[in-house]
Chain A
Amino acid sequence: DAMVIQNPRYQVTQFGKPVTLSCSQTLNHNVMYWYQQKSSQAPKLLFHYYDKDFNNEADTPDNFQSRRPNTSFCFLDIRSPGLGDAAMYLCATSSRTAQGYTFGSGTRLTVV
């Protein structure tokens, strides 16, 4: 089945130690998104790629970076995680004809 896959499902990292979260898709959607969601809050868009074009939200901290080496894969890099970066990170995809987003299962990040 076509889907969006996020790895790992759970990630524990040390304060200040760089961490990378990954997302892959078999839907061939041209738009990929990274959202951060904290408990009882709305998902917050960090950035998105429209094809190869990177679009950063104005309030996304510089600590967060992203790479999209090809259509199928997208990575979220957190250069120096702080305790406030503990959250669920959601990858989503969409296309011009898609009805809404398709989300991956998310990565729960814990910072110790």
Chain B
Amino acid sequence: QKEVEQNSGPLSVPEGAIASLNCTYSDRGSQSFFWYRQYSGKSPELIMFIYSNGDKEDGRFTAQLNKASQYVSLLIRDSQPSDSATYLCAVNEGDSSYKLIFGSGTRLLVRP
């Protein structure tokens, strides 16, 4: 069964610190990787996507991908209390470019 694994947390960091969120996936055929942020009681919101090995930066967010290790991570620099949310990692099924498998998310808590 194809799986996406995340540590459920909570990951607690002080305001201004770097938060590091990790995700592993089982399907070696996966080519597209996404990070969604989900506030309590709300729907997921796309914050980053990455397709190639290496780093991709967008503002305070950096996504990192290592396909050989089947590992994707999200770094949040200068963490703010408003970043407190659950972060879902999503990966496409290897034989489908448009069907995503989600992890259960890591809850991030940024302490003021």
Interface residues of A (CB under 8 A from B): 31, 40-43, 45, 48, 50, 88, 90, 94-96, 99-106, 108
Contacts and interface: CB of A to CB of B under 8 A. Distances in A.
Given A31-B98, A42-B104, A50-B98, A99 B49 contact: yes
A105 to B, nearest CB: 5
- Grouping DSSP codes into helix (H, G, I), strand (E, B) and loop, the A interface class, with mixed when no group exceeds half, is loop
Interface in B40-56: 41-46, 49
B72 to A, nearest CB: 13
Contacts, number: 50
A103 B102 CA distance: 13
A106 B43 CA distance: 6
Contact of A40 (B8, B41, B45, B46): B8
B100 interface: yes
Interface string B23-53: 0000000001010100001111110010000
A41 B98 CA distance: 21
A101 B46 contact: yes
Contacts of B104: 40-42
Given A45-B99, A103-B45, 20 more contacts: A40-B105, A41-B104, A42-B4, A42-B105, A43-B102, A48-B99, A88-B43, A90-B43, A90-B44, A95-B98, A99-B34, A100-B34, A101-B46, A101-B90, A101-B100, A102-B46, A105-B42, A105-B43, A106-B43, A108-B41
Contacts of B46: 99-102
Contacts of A31: 98
A88 B46 CA distance: 18
12 contacts: A40-B8, A42-B103, A42-B105, A90-B43, A95-B98, A99-B46, A100-B49, A100-B90, A101-B100, A102-B46, A103-B43, A104-B43
B88 interface: yes
A11 to B, nearest CB: 14
Nearest to B107: A40
Contacts of A108: 41
Contacts of A102: 46
A3 B46 CA distance: 13
